[in-house]
Amino acid sequence: MKEVIISTEAVNSYGSRVLTAGIDLSQYERNPVLLWMHRRSWEPGAMPIGKVENLRIEGDKLIGTPVFDQNDDFAKRIESKWENGYLRMASAGLETVETSPDPSLVLPGQTRVTVTRSKLVEVSIVDIGGNDEALQLYGQEGKLLKLAAGEECPRLPLLQLKKETEPEPGNEPGEGEEINNPKINLTKMTTEQLTLLGLPATATEEQATAALALMKERADSAATIELAAVTQTVDQAVTERRILAEQRDHYIKLGKAAGVQMLRDTLSTMPPQRKPGEVINLGKQSAPGGGEAPKTYTKLSEVPEAERLELRKNNKAEYMRLFKEEYGMECPALD
């Protein structure tokens, strides 16, 4: 049997959304009825087609397993389409209990308040999700909420746009005077600005505020990560003695202004500073006669072939000595 996601916290076809954690499952668990297309028993030919088992909440998802009535021919037809993938969606019939216009709960595209508390009444198998039949909301006494775009409903009201405040009497600007009354709302956003925020032209002020808050949060997070990278780069440069510890704050400011990559490129051009003792030791190694002693050999076979030819050409006496040591006889005269 296939499990199905019954509800999530995404914006639904009503322009609202339902918080999964606020769904009361207690009544439904006592009567876990499974319907077809949210059709109730008073509609001609509409009867439950099964039940839902293993109902549970995982994160922001309401999940369950449809079990179909094997003694109902219509239910078995729906089951066949379900098991063979011709029907793939289920939806929740919810009774609203509590809603909130809180801007922090509003998602892009949302036009109605958020349902913070609700009661699961029924679950349905549906043919097409995301339309008015793929989610049914009920008001008090189980009355179905029929909503259209822009239609007012006390149980699920539209989000209200803040109206521009009228200037107080006596504060009207004179001819040529700028309107600088702080009580007047001058934050109306252009379509281009809303597009940059990833919002539709019909977005509300609350949605724009929420998008800006999210943008600021992400910018703050990026700045924190950048500062950590700058600090780590400067501390590493101090450890490698490319800069002095007293210069740490200066280079952190440089990294914050120019970026971590520019800082790394700059520090990479600065050779590590050496201690006086290291400089003295280096001088000894590079001084005349201060390098490694020339290699010595006891017989000719120890000399590498490339060196042997050089030895024969430029140091015949040493070549003849090694020859005698190798073969126990005098070396023939060398041309």
Please write the tens of the pLDDT for every residue from 44-90.
657 899 999 999 999 889 999 999 999 999 999 999 998 998 988 88
pLDDT at 173: 53
Beta-bridge partner residues of 35 = 124
- What φ, ψ does residue 115 adopt, rounded to 5°? -85, 105
- Gap between the Cα atoms of 252 and 229, Å rounded: 10
Listed as ranges, residues in the chain with pLDDT below 70 are 41-45, 129-157, 160-189, 274-294, 335
Cα torsion angle, 23, 28, 32, 38, sign? negative
Give this prediction's pTM.
0.44
pLDDT at 90: 87
Task: Render pLDDT for 179-214 as a digit per residue (tens, 0 to 9).
Answer: 444 433 434 567 777 777 778 877 777 788 888 888
